[in-house]
């Protein structure tokens, strides 16, 4: 019975991943999103939402170098704000916010995508081998500082032989980290960092 439960758990996870990939692949790429790409970059994903609570629809994009030699180069996250004239303007960029292709271990590329909320977004990552893990980094707009700041890191880990025995951790400021702006965030080095 335990083997059956593990197989069902893996099947459900695979179906969820397939559904996410197919729904994202079906999303058409607007010309304005394509126009935001720096030269030599291939778009991995994009989402549209009001990211700074000004009533206009902004963009967050993730891209990587088109001709990667080692398949492990940095990924570029950019936030684009919609201006009153309707055009997009680059607001912030980071090459340390999204995990690399090889960072997921045996499981492969850990980057699952972006989930938007009003005034912010969450970067979703999942990886591992027998020990599986997930790391989700949530950023929210700071009206005072006029940028996005890390407001939550939610982690989960479990062994594939015991998927019901999960360990969850929730890191929040100021207890676990101080003020970390998106431009300064590093997925490998955020714990205990930031101005308090």
pTM of the model: 0.82
**pLDDT for 12:** 44
68 vs 31 pLDDT, higher one: 31
| pLDDT tens sequence across 176-186 | 999 999 999 99
The tokens for 123 are 């970067």
Q: What is the spatial distance between Cα 84 and Cα 42, in angstroms, rounded to a whole number?
A: 28
Please say if the pLDDT value at position 21 is more than 50.
Answer: no
- Eight-state DSSP code of residue 108: -
The answer to whether the beta carbons of residues 53 and 141 sit under 8 Å apart is yes
| pLDDT tens sequence across 99-152 | 998 888 888 899 999 999 989 999 999 999 899 999 999 999 999 999 999 999
């Amino acid at each position: 019975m335990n083997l059956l439960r593990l197989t069902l758990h893996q099947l459900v996870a695979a179906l969820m991943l397939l559904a996410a990939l197919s729904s994202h692949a079906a999303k058409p790429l607007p010309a304005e999103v394509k126009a935001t790409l720096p030269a030599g970059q291939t778009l991995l994903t994009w989402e549209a939402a009001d990211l700074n609570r000004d009533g206009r629809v902004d963009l967050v994009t993730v891209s990587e170098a088109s001709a990667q030699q080692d398949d492990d180069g940095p990924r570029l996250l950019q936030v684009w704000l919609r201006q009153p004239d309707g055009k997009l303007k680059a607001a912030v960029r980071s090459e340390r916010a999204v995990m690399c292709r090889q960072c997921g271990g045996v499981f492969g590329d850990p980057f699952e995508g972006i989930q938007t909320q009003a005034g912010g977004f969450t970067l979703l990552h999942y990886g591992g081998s027998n020990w599986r893990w997930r790391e989700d980094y949530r950023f929210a707009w700071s009206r005072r500082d006029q940028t996005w700041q890390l407001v939550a890191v939610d982690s989960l880990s479990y062994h594939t032989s015991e998927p019901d025995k999960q360990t969850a951790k929730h890191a929040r400021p100021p207890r676990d980290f101080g003020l970390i702006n998106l431009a300064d965030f590093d997925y490998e080095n955020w714990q205990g960092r930031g101005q308090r």
